[in-house]
Amino acid sequence: MSAQKDRWDSSLVFLLFCVSSMPRSGSVGLQQEPSPQHYFSGLEAGKASLAFFTPSVSPGAQPFLEQIESSAEALQDYGISVVKVNCPKEDVSRYCGKENALRKAFLFRGNRLIREFPTDALFDVNSIVANVLFALLFNEVKYVETLADLENIENALKGKSNMVFAYVPATGTVEHRAVMEAAFVYGTIHQFVLTTEAALLKATSHDDPDVSSAWLLFCHCQRAIDPAQPCRRTALGQPLTLLNIHRHLKLMGAPLLTEVAEDPEKVSTVHLQLGLPLVFILSQKETYEADRRTAEFVAWQLLGKAGVALLSRDLVDLNVLHRSNVALKTPDEGMPIQYLVLEDTDEVITLVENKNKVKQMQEAEEEEEEDEDEKENNNQDIQDDQVMEAVSRDKKRELPLEQVLVLTEENFHSSLSEAARTVVLFYASWEAVSLAVLRSYSEVAALLKGTPGVLLCQVNCWDWPGLCSQENVTQFPSMRIYKEGQQPVPYNGMWGTEELSSFILLSRVACPLKLATMDEAEGYLRGEFPSELSSHHHTSVLGVFSAATSKAREAFEEAGNILSGHVRMGMYFEDDALAL
């Protein structure tokens, strides 16, 4: 009964949102004022109004008046009145006496002018509503032109709140209006960011997006605590409409993973209410931690496409195959829950993205069930041993890395003090790129075997998600170099063997390296580097500072900490530095 009540409550909220966006019948519509004096004397503090000043007879303004009158009811939903102000012939004031003013519409909040719009920019209802809301929601919707601007906003939001990033090919379109109307509702919850720059859209995408279409990305900045890691992004997969934006934001606000301990038939989540399937990962206490990590990974991959729940078989009596590890519940009323045996997470994701495979998998499971009925009863004992199955799967995923120390939650912090520099590769054993990088990492370990002061380690975030979360690892693979008393240095380069080994070796050298004599500094300028730098072919930087430039020197040293492993940096700050 409670699940049904939740569904009705959610549907009611959803309905109220949609109704609030519809024009109200019987509304006042376009208001008219006989003169500017009469209009300004009636303005209320804090209330927004869009005014158009026109002579009593102005045939040229008729097309614009038709559009602005049509938009009046839509704008009233947001507390904005639309007013046509008649200009008497003798009026020579600012808004009536100048020809240019008669070709503009003016947005006021109280008696303060917020923005003036050329009437040709307000060419239809969508452009009027979009541009007026854009002007009023100045703080709720930031406009950006460059990737640097976007990243600055992201960095400021990390650990605090989330961001909704929208791209529209042009302002004043129906998509622009949808974003502004969503920002009016959700602007106090999420930071909205808008751009019309196609180059910025391409810079934020790994693919080649269609810049002729509008795009919307939900950026999970609240979960990103490490400033060095970008916010995860989940794209809206449907056309950019107000209803789809609301649906997307509602899904982004739902729990990433739900743990349930009741019959799946009785379980209802926001995903089912919005017409999406719900995937159950079946678990038991012996494999709970591994199953939960699997469920969280699948939930991220299916975010916006399906819900994911972790179902404990110990708490619910399920009359299904003991080997079944996944169940699928669709939003279609009367459809039975499908229980399946899947080999890996890719099959779970394919199950949702390609619904045709569900029937094929079910048929295969039915045939397998018939075959198993013919087997001897002792085979059932093997099927029941879920722990052994989990161990077998883990062995399949492991790669031989003999020169690399495996870190866990128990030995992570103690291992960091075993060498001057500890290199840690954080990876996910389910992820293809991680497995490819592991091969390069094993080659690096062989090359650097015996290198003093360097310890190569690995952390499988599949097995130790708590440790990876504690270290703010949100992308896989990630490599960092730890040195006692200093912030870890992240690696952001290519994953080839040569690039990795070069970064590790160069990071052993102080950055910046302090040059002791004038001869060393002049030799550095000639390309004659100290022995510890001569074997590395990297960009070289020399900082020369006098005693009076301590702040600049500190900034240079801070930059060196960030660029360690990427750049050769030297620094000279003796008394005779000015001679250089």
Q: Return the pLDDT at 58.
A: 54
- Give the C-alpha separation, 74 to 68, whole Å: 10
Q: Return the pLDDT at 366.
A: 56
- Give the C-alpha separation, 476 to 437, whole Å: 10
For 116, counting Cβ atoms within 10 Å of its Cβ (0-12 exposed, 13-18 middle, 19+ buried), the class is middle
Helix (H) or strand (E) holding 108: strand 104-109
- Give the C-alpha separation, 495 to 493, whole Å: 7
Residue 57: both structure tokens together: 């007879």
Q: Return the pLDDT at 251.
A: 93
Q: Return the pLDDT at 533.
A: 59
Q: Return the pLDDT at 28.
A: 56
- Give the C-alpha separation, 184 to 168, whole Å: 17
Question: Residue range 390-411: average pLDDT?
Answer: 64
Q: Find, among 472, 437, 442, 436, the residue nearest to 456 by Cα.
A: 442
Q: How many CB atoms lie within 10 A of CB 448?
A: 17
Say whether 409 sits in a helix, a strand or coil.
coil
Query: Which carries the bigger pLDDT value, residue 511 or residue 551?
Result: 551
Lowest mean pLDDT among 5-14, 91-100, 135-144, 462-471: 5-14
Confidence label for 2 from pLDDT (cuts 50, 70 and 90): very low
- Give the C-alpha separation, 221 to 160, whole Å: 7
Lowest mean pLDDT among 27-36, 210-219, 256-265: 27-36
Q: Return the pLDDT at 373.
A: 54
Q: Find, among 22, 16, 137, the residue nearest to 74 by Cα.
A: 22
Q: How many CA atoms lie within 13 A of 445 on its CB side?
A: 21
Q: Return the pLDDT at 215.
A: 94
CA distances from 439 to 60, 125, 443 (A): 72, 58, 7
Residue 327: both structure tokens together: 């169940």
- Give the C-alpha separation, 143 to 157, whole Å: 16
Q: Return the pLDDT at 246.
A: 94
Confidence label for 538 from pLDDT (cuts 50, 70 and 90): low
- Domains along the sequence of the chain with CATH: 36-123 (3.40.30.10), 139-252 (3.40.30.10), 256-354 (3.40.30.10), 399-503 (3.40.30.10), 509-573 (no CATH)
pLDDT for 102 beyond 80? no
Inter-residue contact 215 to 236 (CB < 8 Å): yes
Confidence label for 509 from pLDDT (cuts 50, 70 and 90): confident
Confidence label for 383 from pLDDT (cuts 50, 70 and 90): very low
- Give the C-alpha separation, 461 to 157, whole Å: 25
**Residue with structure tokens 């196609």?**
198
- Helix/strand/coil percentages in the chain, nearest 5: 40, 20, 40
pLDDT for 384 beyond 60? no
pLDDT for 288 beyond 60? yes
End-to-end Cα separation, the chain, in angstroms: 82
How far from chain centre, in Å, is Cα 24?
36
Q: Return the pLDDT at 180.
A: 93
Question: Residue range 18-34: average pLDDT?
Answer: 56
CA distances from 18 to 134, 243, 275, 396 (A): 20, 7, 17, 50
pLDDT for 1 beyond 80? no
Q: Find, among 209, 189, 331, the residue nearest to 268 by Cα.
A: 331
What's the pLDDT tens digit per position in 337-369?
Answer: 888 888 788 888 888 887 645 555 555 555 555
Measured torsion, CA atoms of residues 207, 306, 222, 437, in degrees rounded to the nearest 10: -50
Question: Residue range 440-452: average pLDDT?
Answer: 88
For 417, counting Cβ atoms within 10 Å of its Cβ (0-12 exposed, 13-18 middle, 19+ buried), the class is exposed
Q: Return the pLDDT at 487.
A: 84
For 12, counting Cβ atoms within 10 Å of its Cβ (0-12 exposed, 13-18 middle, 19+ buried), the class is exposed
Residue 300: both structure tokens together: 């991220």
Spell out where 119-196 has E strands.
141-143, 163-167, 191-195
Using a cut of 0.85, tell me whether the model's pTM lies above it.
no
Lowest mean pLDDT among 187-201, 341-355, 533-547: 533-547
Say whether 79 sits in a helix, a strand or coil.
coil
CA distances from 159 to 216, 312, 314 (A): 21, 31, 36
Lowest mean pLDDT among 191-205, 392-406, 534-548: 392-406
In whole numbers, what is the pLDDT of the chain averaged over residues? 80
Q: Return the pLDDT at 466.
A: 86
pLDDT for 208 beyond 70? yes
Confidence label for 101 from pLDDT (cuts 50, 70 and 90): low
What's the pLDDT tens digit per position in 258-276?
Answer: 998 888 888 889 999 999 9
Give the type of residue at 397.
R
Would you put residue 210 in left (φ > 0), alpha (ψ -120 to 50) or beta? beta
Inter-residue contact 404 to 415 (CB < 8 Å): no
Q: How many CB atoms lie within 10 A of CB 297?
A: 22
Please, which residues have CB within 8 angstroms of residue 445's CB and are 6 or more apart in sequence? 401, 402, 403, 404, 456
Confidence label for 306 from pLDDT (cuts 50, 70 and 90): very high
Confidence label for 320 from pLDDT (cuts 50, 70 and 90): confident
Confidence label for 245 from pLDDT (cuts 50, 70 and 90): very high
Q: In what order do the strands lie in the sheet with 338-340?
A: 258-260, 307-312, 278-283, 326-329, 338-340
- Give the C-alpha separation, 280 to 329, whole Å: 8
pLDDT for 229 beyond 50? yes
Lowest mean pLDDT among 116-120, 274-278, 311-315, 364-368: 364-368
Q: Return the pLDDT at 289.
A: 86
Residue 45: both structure tokens together: 């503090």
pLDDT for 277 beyond 90? yes
Q: Find, among 192, 217, 219, the residue nearest to 207 by Cα.
A: 217
Helices (H), 94-136: 125-136
pLDDT for 379 beyond 50? no
Lowest mean pLDDT among 22-31, 335-344, 397-406, 417-426: 22-31
Say whether 412 sits in a helix, a strand or coil.
helix
Q: Return the pLDDT at 130.
A: 92
Q: Return the pLDDT at 363.
A: 55
**Percent of the chain whose predicted confidence (pLDDT) is above 70:** 83
Question: Residue range 158-171: average pLDDT?
Answer: 93
Q: In what order do the strands lie in the sheet with 568-572?
A: 513-514, 568-572, 540-544
Q: Return the pLDDT at 309.
A: 93
pLDDT for 405 beyond 70? yes
Query: Which carries the bigger pLDDT value, residue 405 or residue 67?
Result: 405
